[in-house]
C-alpha cells in the first residue's frame, strides 16, 4: 500500500438468497472468485475476495444467504454466516431494487443488533434492472429498517454504477493497518476449490426445483501430463438420488457433456493450460441431512 495511514479489514454482504451478493463481490474484486446462479443458496462457503486500492485493502467474505434451514446443511450454512458476522469490521446489508422489502429482509436487518462491533451499510443492488422511482422507494424502505446505517448506497454490479462510491465508503470505515494479503492476490481459495465451484456452477445451470440444493462437487485428482500438453482433472458431481443422477447425465450423456464443456472453458484460463476434464456422477443418499456425508463433502 502506498500511504502510511492505509486501511485494511473485512467486510461481508448479507441478505436473503439471490440478492446479488456474489455478483457484487466479483465486481468489486474485478475477477470471478465466487460462482453465481439464479438458484438460491448457490454460495456454500465463506469465500474471500481481495480488493486492493492505493488507500488500503478490503477483504470481502462472501457468504451463503441467510434463510430458514430445512436440512442439516442449511443449518450449517447459517452457522457459518453467523460466525463470519461476528468477525468482520463492516456488514453490508443487500436488498435488490427490484423487490419490495419483506419480512425476510426485516428479520435479517434486526438480527444485525447481535453484531455490535461491526459498522452497518445498506446497499440497494440491481439498480440497472429497476425504474428510478423503484430505486427511490427501496432506498426509503431500507433506510427505515435501522437507525444506525453508516451509509445507504444504491448500485449496480452489472453496470459498475456506484461501485467506486461503495469501495471508498467501505475503505474509510476500515481500521488503519497494513494489507492482510500480498498485492496480486484476489482470493485465498485454492485452485481445486475454485475448479469444484466452476463445475458446480455449470451443473446448476438449467436445473430446477430441489435439484440445485442436492448438487455437490469434489475434485478427485489433478495431474499434469509429462509433456506439459494437458492437465487431467477428475471430478465427481454428487447428488442425493438416482433420479437426479439421470437428470445431470441427460439423454445419452448430453447434459453432462455440456456441463463439462462450459466448466472447462472457465477452468483453462484459471490453471493456464489446456484441460482434459473427466466428470463422474455419483449418488450419496440424502447427504444434506447426514453429518458424516457433510463432513466428507467439506461442510
Specify the pLDDT at position 63. Answer: 77
- In 3D space, the residue among 100, 63, 58 whose CA is nearest the CA of residue 78 turns out to be 63
Domain span at 206:
191-297
Reading the block at residue 267, the C-alpha cell is: 477452468
Residue 21 marked in a binding site: yes
For residue 251, tell me if it sits in a domain. Answer: yes
- The pLDDT confidence band at residue 161, using thresholds 50, 70 and 90, is very high
Specify the pLDDT at position 2. Answer: 42
69 and 77 in contact (C-beta within 8 Å)?
Answer: yes
Number of domains the chain contains = 2
Residue 126 marked in a binding site: yes
- The pLDDT confidence band at residue 58, using thresholds 50, 70 and 90, is very high
Specify the pLDDT at position 210. Answer: 60
Residue 12 marked in a binding site: no
Residue 79 marked in a binding site: no
DSSP helix/strand/coil, 5? coil
Specify the pLDDT at position 209. Answer: 62
**Measured distance CA(196)–CA(219) in Å, rounded:** 6
Overall average pLDDT of the 26-39 stretch: 83
Residue 25 marked in a binding site: no
For residue 181, tell me if it sits in a domain. Answer: no
Residue 43 marked in a binding site: no
Distances (CA, A) of 197 to 67, 163, 184, 267: 21, 25, 22, 10
Residue 159 marked in a binding site: no
> Does 238 lie in the same domain as 163?
no
Indicate the range of 2-6, 156-160, 219-223 predicted with least confidence.
Answer: 2-6
Question: At what angle are helices 21-29 and 163-173 packed, to 10 degrees?
Answer: 90
Residue 297 marked in a binding site: no
Residue 165 marked in a binding site: no
**Measured distance CA(103)–CA(98) in Å, rounded:** 16
> Does 165 lie in the same domain as 98?
yes
pLDDT at 41 exceeding the cut of 70: no
pLDDT tens sequence across 168-219? 999 999 999 999 999 888 888 889 989 998 999 899 887 766 676 788 999 9
For the domain that residue 196 is a member of, what is the CATH number? Answer: 3.30.300.20
> Does 165 lie in the same domain as 126?
yes
> Does 165 lie in the same domain as 44?
yes
For residue 178, tell me if it sits in a domain. Answer: no
Overall average pLDDT of the 137-158 stretch: 97
Please say which residue of 106, 138, 173 terminates a domain.
173
pTM of the model: 0.77
pLDDT tens sequence across 95-147? 999 999 999 999 999 999 999 999 999 999 999 999 999 999 999 999 999 99
For residue 2, tell me if it sits in a domain. Answer: no
- The pLDDT confidence band at residue 3, using thresholds 50, 70 and 90, is very low
For residue 21, tell me if it sits in a domain. Answer: yes
For residue 180, tell me if it sits in a domain. Answer: no
For the domain that residue 12 is a member of, what is the CATH number? Answer: 3.40.50.300
**Measured distance CA(72)–CA(50) in Å, rounded:** 30
Amino acid at each position: 500500500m502506498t500511504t502510511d495511514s492505509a486501511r485494511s479489514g473485512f467486510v461481508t454482504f448479507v441478505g436473503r438468497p439471490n440478492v446479488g451478493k456474489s455478483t457484487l463481490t466479483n465486481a468489486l474484486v474485478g475477477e470471478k472468485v465466487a460462482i453465481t446462479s439464479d438458484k438460491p443458496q448457490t454460495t456454500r462457503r465463506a469465500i474471500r475476495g481481495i480488493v486492493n486500492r492505493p488507500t488500503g485493502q478490503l477483504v470481502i467474505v462472501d457468504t451463503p444467504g441467510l434463510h430458514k434451514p430445512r436440512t442439516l446443511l442449511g443449518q450449517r450454512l447459517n452457522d457459518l454466516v453467523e460466525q463470519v458476522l461476528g468477525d468482520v469490521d463492516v456488514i453490508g446489508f443487500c436488498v435488490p431494487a427490484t423487490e419490495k422489502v419483506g419480512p425476510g429482509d426485516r428479520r435479517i436487518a434486526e438480527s444485525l443488533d447481535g453484531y455490535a462491533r461491526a459498522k452497518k451499510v445498506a446497499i440497494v443492488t440491481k439498480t440497472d434492472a429497476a425504474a428510478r422511482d423503484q430505486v427511490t422507494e427501496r432506498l426509503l424502505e431500507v433506510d427505515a429498517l435501522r437507525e444506525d446505517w453508516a451509509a445507504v448506497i444504491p448500485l449496480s454490479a452489472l453496470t459498475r454504477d456506484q461501485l467506486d462510491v461503495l469501495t471508498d465508503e467501505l475503505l474509510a470505515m476500515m481500521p488503519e493497518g497494513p494489507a492482510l494479503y500480498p498485492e496480486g492476490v484476489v482470493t485465498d481459495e485454492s485452485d481445486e476449490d475454485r475448479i469444484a465451484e466452476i463445475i458446480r456452477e455449470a451443473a446448476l445451470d438449467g436445473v430446477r426445483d430441489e435439484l440445485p440444493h442436492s448438487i455437490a462437487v469434489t475434485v478427485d485428482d489433478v495431474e499434469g501430463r509429462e509433456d506439459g500438453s494437458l492437465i487431467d482433472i477428475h471430478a465427481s458431481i454428487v447428488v442425493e438420488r438416482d433420479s437426479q443422477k439421470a437428470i445431470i447425465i441427460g439423454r445419452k450423456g448430453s447434459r453432462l457433456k455440456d456441463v463439462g464443456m462450459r466448466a472447462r472453458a472457465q477452468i483453462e484460463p484459471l490453471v493456464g493450460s489446456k484441460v482434459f476434464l473427466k466428470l463422474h456422477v455419483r449418488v450419496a443418499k440424502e447427504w444434506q441431512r447426514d453429518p458424516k456425508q457433510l463432513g466428507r463433502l467439506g461442510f
